[in-house]
Structure 1
Amino acid sequence: MSPLDVLAKRQHATIDCPSAAGESHGLRILLILSTLLAFASISTDLYLPAMPVMAQALHANSGTLELTVSGYLIGFSVGQLFWGPFSDRFGRRLPVALGLGLFIIGSAGCALAASGHAMIGWRVVQAIGACANVVLARAMVRDLYAGRAAAQKMSTLMTIMAIAPLAGPTLGGQIMHLASWQAIFWVLVLVGLLTLASLTLLPETLPATRRAPTSLGAIVSCYGALLRNARFLGYAAAGGFFYAGTFAYIAGSPFAYISYHHVPAQLYGLLFAAGIVGVMATNQANARLLNHYHSDTLLMVGALMAGGAGLILALNTWADFGGLPLLVVGCFLFASSTGFVVANSVAGALSCSGQFAGSASALAGALQYGCGILGSALVAAFADGTPWPMGWVLAVCGVGCVISAACVRRAARQH
């Protein structure tokens, strides 16, 4: 039995049921946590329609602008490794507040950027702040719920937070139409300030009695134990392949739709929003189906959806088979599988954490978003003016997600 399994047994009595905070402030906590989770998407989705215009204004090519997504993911991935252990030691609210401060500074820097490389640098700063919100919101779910309940709450949170990417590209296109692309980042500054003010309504979910001492040795030991846990690695890999495909889609779709298929920026927002509607539907389906099926089974369902969608997109973008309609269908199916893949992979990874929910959330997130870096970077590196780079990356990632989900089921049986 691993050290994490011992810790999980020791903590079982306190985390299998919702805490008092979860019961007395349920709706308030859900809304605030959904807002914190939304920073992962709104930070990118809002400016997606402006990317071609930004490339011209900053005298940068499409590959450089796609690297603003990769730069964001670098900061988002690495930053989580710090915020997770920090929150296990000092609680959740303080690091969230510090992260929001960095997010506000980074967003202002993006608005004032004068070159593509400056934009990439400020996006890294923005991401280091934003990732605190996301990793700690997931850890708060683990503080309050466990097992199937955690997966269900994660699905509910993702359904609520889907409003942000649903409205993001459309709102971003309208802001750019009425003002400028810089105004998009000033809106993000305002969002950060309002969220910072809302923290006065958020109770601390990790009491002092459940906090873990933090030292470099303890952090390394905890991360090492997680990396030796086959189940944790399987969940993280399934999410990692999926995130790689998701961010390949985010980085490549503006140019696939707007530049290659000549879709107007405003219509691109609607096409992107259709995928988010699919995400909301599958999240709700996942929450309901968890009452009847194991989360690992639903994870495999989502992985098979992603794999099938990836193969459709590879065929479409390679041979232009089906044209724009099939491209829209493939992207919709891949995005919709989020509801089954993300909630179940995150909840599964956190179930391996014992008392180190913050560290487990951080490591899983770092691995997943690190894969996202690779996905978006591959699209940027092989950019050739066609959607083909995005298509083959999504196909590889979808198949990898299926293989990882199968490994999770095998590791669970052995466990």
Structure 2
Amino acid sequence: MNLRIILILGALSAFGPLAIDFYLPGFPAMALAFGTDEQHVQLTLAAYFFGLSIGQLVYGPAADRFGRRKPLLVGVVLFSLASLVCALAPTLEWLIAARFVQALGGCAGMVVARAIVSDRCDAIGAAKVFSQLMLVMGLAPILAPMLGGVMVNAYGWQSIFLALTLFSAACLVAVAVGLPESMRADQPRAPLSGALGQYFNLLKDRVFIGYALSGGIAMAGMFSYIAGSPFVFIKLYGVPAEHYGWLFGTNAAGFILVAQVNARVLRRFGPAWMLARMIWVYLAAALTVLGISLLRTEQLWPLLVPLFVCLASLGCIIPNASACAMDGQGRRAGSASALLGCMQFTVAAGAASLVGVLHDGTATPMALVISLCGALAVSVSVLTRRWVAQRG
């Protein structure tokens, strides 16, 4: 797969991180503007996760029926228009609704990107491309919060959504001009009427579900961090909003570094082997985060070290789990990609909401949810390896 296509797919896959990470420093300003608190502003994040979950189920069958390009173009246009509505939202309720629609558009890039990789690559090749996409996507969590903090202070929170409008418009041009159709012309097109049947067959595939949940539950821990870190860093430990991005970016840099190391060692160890080992690293680091949060340390750095390890390990877990789940899906790659993404973001939405529900003015709710995700991810991973062995 050439560099141009990887960059376009990376930009499309970055819709999610950008639409999430970019506006996090603006939570306090948005709460002030709408006359509410930050816990209610977090509903805009939950609405986005919910939209990602539902929308992917639509784009998957559409990508298997109409090819990869047409549904993708529709989704990018929808994301761009919804981003503009977010910038102009007069109330928090309007913003929540616009964020939901924005997610319905943004998830097209995520679904179709995975399907295109599956069209062109085998399991090891797919894991390498997914790791490379993590490099492109990883720039978003590094740059977005830092730039978002600067833009909020200089131009207000609305400027963030105007920037997303322009970015998505540029991606629309890139897709229209530089992204060819990857679905073979002679490949059978699955009818939309069979979408439910495809999903039912996938749900009966224990190995697919196991790999999807292993990565998805671990990823939910990352979104628990995304939902809880603005309060923990800015409010609890007094980190200035414009400096929040540096902390967020450091963790994202670890994520990128591990993803690139993963891409280099895959030929030797394979994605399933790497996933089974690194998921234990994630759990160990998550439990350390929980233990330190319970100590109520006055300084932030003891919490940051294990949190860095925990989030960095996801640079190995997420691409390998996705590659193992998508391996051999063939003509139902779009539906498999959609169900994979739906499961991931449904769990992520629940985890992010749980952080808000458990909010008690400390870092413990965030750490507790991250640890719970780690324990569940390890349990599912162990079961999946048994199912693979039984399959023979």
TM-score higher than 0.5 here?
yes
Aligned residue number for residue 354 of structure 1: 330
Which is further off, 388-397 or 234-243? 234-243
| Match of residue 39 from structure 2 | 63
DSSP 3-state at the match of 2:186: helix
Q: Are the counterparts in 1 of residues 220 and 352 from structure 2 also a CA contact under 8 Å?
A: yes
Q: Is the 8 A contact 2:30 2:157 kept in 1?
A: yes
Query: What SS is found at the alignment partner of 1:143?
Result: helix
What is the CA-CA distance between 1:322 and the residue it aligns to?
Answer: 7.3
- Give unpaired runs (5+ residues) of structure 1: 1-21
Which of 333, 353, 370 is residue 377 of structure 1 equivalent to? 353
> Does residue 32 in structure 1 map to residue 18 in structure 2?
no
Tell whether the 8 Å contact from 1:135 to 1:362 is kept in structure 2 after alignment: yes
Question: What does residue 170 of structure 1 align with?
Answer: 146
Equivalent in 175, 178, 181 of residue 201 of structure 1: 178
TM-superposed CA distance for 1:314, in Å, is 1.2
Q: Distance in 2 between matches of 1:321 and 1:245?
A: 22
Pick aligned residue for 1:330 from 301, 306, 310: 306
The share of aligned pairs that are identical, in percent, is 38
- Structure 2 runs not aligned, ≥5 long: none
TM-score, normalised to structure 1, is: 0.92
Structure 1 segment 3-402 matched on structure 2, within 5 A: 22=1, 26-199=2-175, 200-216=177-193, 218-321=194-297, 323-402=299-378
Q: Separation in 2 of the partners of 1:205 and 1:412? A: 29
How far apart, CA to CA, are the structure 2 residues paired with 1:336 and 1:118? 35
**What amino acid is the match of 1:202?**
L
Whether the 8 Å CA contact 1:138–1:361 is kept in 2: the answer is: yes
Distance between the aligned counterparts of 1:334 and 1:342, measured in 2? 13
Instruction: Report the Cα offset of residue 301 of structure 1.
Output: 2.5
Rounded to whole Å, the distance in 1 between the matches of 2:111 and 2:15 is 11
Cα distance per residue 1:280-320 (max 9 Å; x no partner): 11111111111110211211232112211211121122221
Which piece of structure 1 moves more, 26-35 or 402-411?
402-411
Amino acid at match of 1:151: A
Distance (whole Å) between structure 2 residues aligned to residue 255 and residue 74 of structure 1:
22
1:210 aligned counterpart, secondary structure: coil
Matched pairs, number: 390
CA deviation after TM superposition for structure 1 residue 207, in Å = 2.4
Aligned to 1:414: 390
Q: Deviations over 1:162-208 (max 9, x none)?
A: 11111110011111122111001000000011000111111111123
Q: CA deviation at 1:226?
A: 0.9
CA distance in 1 between partners of 2:114 and 2:153 (Å): 35
Paired with 2:82 and 2:135, the residues of 1 have a C-alpha distance of: 27
| 1:73–1:369 contact (8 Å) kept in structure 2 | yes
The offset of 1:339, in angstroms, is 1.2
Q: Contact (CA 8 Å) 2:62, 2:192: kept in 1 or not? A: no
Deviates more, 1:126-135 or 1:58-67: 58-67
Residue in 2 aligned with 1:6?
none
Contact 1:232–1:352 (CA under 8 A) maintained in structure 2? no
Offset, 1:211: 4.2
Inter-partner Cα distance in structure 1 for 2:89 and 2:360: 26
Please state how far the C-alpha of 1:115 moved relative to its aligned partner.
2.4
How far is the alpha carbon of 1:243 from its aligned partner?
Answer: 2.2
- What is the TM-score normalised by the length of structure 2? 0.97
Contact (CA 8 Å) 2:290, 2:364: kept in 1 or not?
A: yes
Alpha-carbon offset, residue 255 of structure 1? 0.5
Query: How many Å separate the matches in 2 of 1:333 and 1:116?
Result: 35
Is the 1:231–1:412 contact (alpha carbons within 8 Å) kept by the matching residues of 2?
Answer: yes
